[in-house]
Chains A and B, each alone.
Chain A
């Protein structure tokens, strides 16, 4: 499995678990949680689109797809009221200016690598295995 997709899904697992916990609280009626949930769902959709275009082995693709589907199910199951409003303006949330669901979503920002998409990473990997001096291609790095 490409590290790009693996990292993104690891992040999703944590964010979803956290959002699920917040959905047991007043955040269930909050636009903050609703927005965070929507963003995760969209992120997963985008990840699926990127995966379709990625040049990674089919088996890996299947594995990632299963993980994406599982995350999507969890995201859909997060309880959010249909009509929701910011709980700060409703005077129910008094934690200060911060927002816990959006903070949970920010956990995705912990992922900074790989900075480039999976398929580009693969190209660089191959390029690194071509000897600069003699041009020989090796399956593992070799000093010529």
Chain B
């Protein structure tokens, strides 16, 4: 029976999987129906029953066994890892379907139907089953190389063990509706490919964007001679890679020194005498306009110590956004309307009350001063905005044509998003 050594980079893609016997004909995918990806690394845990299935598969003799959650990047990683090892001839897909992603049906549809011209898995029920980051050659090989053992919905380790075991038997062995045995390696060379990551967030891709994305990822048609040359050159890759990294490092160093020079110039420019600044300003053309500038501030993470302090900090966080919206509206037709002044007055009242609450609170004096300082800054900014409610409504005079909604009152509602902590 023919077995082939996988590529030197096998498995090319990192992920949530275990590596077993490279010469085994079976890989196992356990669908992960759990909020793993949304959790911060320090609390990421795979549910015990899923982890157990992954381990059982490897212990029984699978080449690779891991979890799968997304119907795009997740599947792309699996494709890359499997085509890099022609010994893998079966793919067992088990575990409960991933809610929202429908990843199980997506991988099943990929093997059965492939992808269309828009790199979308044909017949998949998943929302974004796009494979933009891997070569078409890898997808087509993946489909030819593998037989799917569909155990979607199955979480019994005994069944998975039996399935994996059946795959590497020398004589045909019945398992469910299949007759399984190890047919040996696929009759072509291993494909070494990895994700291009030209589309890092395929879940954000909208249907109308696909054609444009495709233009950016079109693969050049390589003549066979070129392909052979590429294979022949593979052993030279390591030296070249070192050279490339060194060149890149050199470039980064040069760019960093340029940035440092610019920083020095900027700081020196700020320290210039006022008359020099005036002369310099005269030479600079006026900016194009649009949105009022917001004071640039360094990102300072404040950790409120008490619930009371958290309440004040959250409210001020919200006001920061509301004020920015008001200032933008002030540069628009809302400046001459009545809704912006009404919203400004409401915001002023709330902010003044907040300031009083801060004053009466039990937070430390230092914190009090800091919070009151911010509130005062916001009150000042509000004072510079229109407050004359007697102006005509811009809808009535026919200037505002957005419909029944109102940007000014909508902006004020941003504060309603803050539901924690409770008002002291």
Q: List the interface of chain A (C-beta within 8 A of B).
A: 3, 6-7, 10-11, 13-14, 16-18, 20-22, 24-26, 28-29, 35, 38, 42, 45-46, 49, 70-71, 74, 85-86, 89-92, 94-100, 103-104, 106-107, 109-115
Ordered nearest first, which 8 A-B pairs have the shortest CB separation?
A110-B405, A98-B417, A112-B403, A96-B419, A21-B324, A113-B403, A17-B328, A96-B420
Is the beta-carbon distance between A95 and B288 smaller than 8 angstroms?
no
**Chain B residues touching A, majority SS:** loop
Hey, which chain A residues are within 8 Å of B284, CB to CB?
none
CB neighbours of B333 from chain A (8 A): 10
Q: Does B329 contact A (CB under 8 A)?
A: yes
- 8 Å CB contacts to A: which residues of B118-164? none
Please choose the segment from B102-110, B263-271, B292-300 that sits at the chain A interface, where 4 or more of its residues have CB less than 8 A away: B292-300
Q: What is the minimal beta-carbon distance from A100 to any residue of chain B, in angstroms?
A: 6
Instruction: Name the CB-closest residue of B to A70.
Output: B290
Closest Cβ of chain B to A21, distance in Å, is 3
Sample (11) of A-B pairs whose CB atoms are under 8 Å apart? A21-B294, A21-B325, A25-B317, A25-B320, A29-B299, A38-B204, A42-B204, A49-B208, A95-B318, A103-B414, A107-B411
Instruction: List B residues 293-310 near A (Cβ within 8 Å).
Output: 294-297, 299, 301, 304, 310
Is the CB–CB distance between A89 and B407 below 8 Å? no
Which has the most chain A C-beta neighbours within 10 Å: B294, B314, B328?
A: B328
Q: Is B232 an interface residue (CB 8 A)?
A: no
CA distance A103 to B410 in the complex (A): 10
> Which of B324, B404, B418 has its CB near the most chain A CB atoms (within 10 A)?
B324
In the complex, A74 Cα to B292 Cα: how many Å? 11
Let me know if B417 and A100 touch, CB within 8 A: yes
In the complex, the chain B residue whose C-beta lies closest to that of A115 is B403
Q: B39–A89 contact, CB under 8 A?
A: yes
Interface size on B, as a range, is 35 or more
Give Cα distance in the complex from A7 to B400, angstroms. Answer: 8
The verdict on B47 contacting chain A, using a C-beta distance below 8 Å, is no
Chain B residues at the A interface, C-beta cutoff of 8 Å:
38-40, 201, 204, 206, 208-209, 288-292, 294-297, 299, 301, 304, 310, 314, 317-318, 320-325, 327-329, 331-333, 401-407, 410-411, 413-414, 416-421
Q: Decide if B402 touches A70 in the complex (CB within 8 Å).
A: no
CB-CB < 8 A to A25: which residues of B?
299, 317, 320
Contact of B209 among A42, A86, A91, A115 (CB under 8 A): A42
- Beta-carbon contact of B404 and A103 below 8 Å: no
A17-B328, A99-B417 provided; 15 other pairs, C-beta below 8 A? A11-B407, A13-B290, A17-B294, A18-B321, A18-B325, A24-B295, A25-B299, A28-B299, A49-B208, A95-B419, A96-B419, A100-B317, A100-B418, A104-B414, A113-B403
Residues of A within 8 A of B421 (CB): 94
- A24 CB contacts on chain B under 8 angstroms: 294-297, 299, 320
A112 to B401 alpha-carbon distance, docked (Å) = 9
Q: Is the CB of A107 within 8 A of B417?
A: no
A112 near B301: Cβ-Cβ < 8 Å: no
Please measure, in the bound complex, the distance between the C-alpha atom of A139 and the C-alpha atom of B289, giving whole angstroms. Answer: 37
- Closest chain-A Cβ to B88's Cβ sits at a distance in Å of 32
Residue of A nearest to B288 (CB): A70
Contact A14/B407 with A74-B290, A90-B40 known, Cβ cut-off 8 Å: yes
Shortest distance from the beta carbon of B183 to any chain A beta carbon, whole Å: 43
Per the bound structure, the CA–CA distance linking A45 and B205 in Å amounts to 13
Chain B contacts for A16, CB-based, 8 A: 291, 328
Bound CA–CA A53/B420 (angstroms) = 46
Give the complex CA separation of A129 and B291 in angstroms.
Answer: 39
In the bound complex, CA of A11 to CA of B333 (Å): 12
Q: Are B332 and A7 in contact (CB under 8 A)?
A: no
